[in-house]
Chains A and B, each alone.
Chain A
Amino acid sequence: AQKITQTQPGMFVQEKEAVTLDCTYDTSDPSYGLFWYKQPSSGEMIFLIYQGSYDQQNATEGRYSLNFQKARKSANLVISASQLGDSAMYFCAMRVLNTGNQFYFGTGTSLTVIP
């Protein structure tokens, strides 16, 4: 079975500080992809970053980086230099090659950036 776990329902961070949002996953398939999405209060889902299971380097996209620890089955999102506009829900998701193109989502972490 495939599963994504996000254990932090809510997080607070001071503006300009870095924050790590946790994500662990479970799959027995060796080929998978890990995604992070942001959902601001307006409701739309915004893709942030992707990491493939065979990627040797951690993914980075601007202020977002993915701390991929394969042995621990974790894919934590790191946001550097937090901004007020980063306040949102953040979802971790996994896509497994052999499950008919399904994506599996975690329950999300609500991030609040404090000025």
Chain B
Amino acid sequence: NAGVTQTPKFQVLKTGQSMTLQCAQDMNHNSMYWYRQDPGMGLRLIYYSASEGTTDKGEVPNGYNVSRLNKREFSLRLESAAPSQTSVYFCASSEARLSYEQYFGPGTRLTVT
């Protein structure tokens, strides 16, 4: 039981390059989330998927796209990376119950030069 896995763990991109961050969960959760974490800003929601087949914008969606490939997998794509997207990215999953916590992946540290 791996929980939430993310790949890659580290990535360096040049401005304008594209990449996809992968996330998978094996807990059969309906909801999945992508956050970015910047110093002093806490976790900010980029996109989320309340259930398979749906995705919605969060607080900071500009410059990102997502795909909920199936119930297990939720990917985040940067089409044209910018230095402002340098951050640590976390994927999380949860069940659709108020009392249910989020389970987080280990994070991806992305640097855009």
The answer, yes or no, to whether A102 is at the interface (CB within 8 Å) is yes
Contact B98 A102 (CB under 8 A): no
Contact B58 A102 (CB under 8 A): yes
Q: Number of B residues whose C-beta is below 8 Å from A?
A: 26
Stretch of B18-26, B35-43, B69-77 lying at the A interface: B35-43
Q: A9-B40, A52-B98 are in contact. Are A100 and B104 (CB under 8 A)?
A: no
Chain A residues with Cβ below 8 Å from B33 are 103
Contact B48 A101 (CB under 8 A): yes
Stretch of B60-68, B78-86, B88-96 lying at the A interface: B88-96
Docked complex Cα distance between A107 and B33 (Å): 18
Contact B41 A107 (CB under 8 A): yes
Stretch of A11-19, A28-36, A68-76 lying at the B interface: A28-36
Contact B50 A50 (CB under 8 A): no
Within 71-115 of A, Cβ neighbours of B (below 8 Å) are at 91, 93, 95, 97, 100-103, 105-108
Contact B102 A108 (CB under 8 A): no
Docked complex Cα distance between A98 and B92 (Å): 19
* 17 sample A-B contacts, Cβ–Cβ < 8 Å, listed by A number: A31-B98, A33-B98, A35-B101, A43-B106, A45-B92, A47-B102, A52-B99, A91-B43, A95-B98, A97-B98, A100-B48, A101-B31, A102-B45, A103-B33, A103-B92, A105-B43, A108-B42
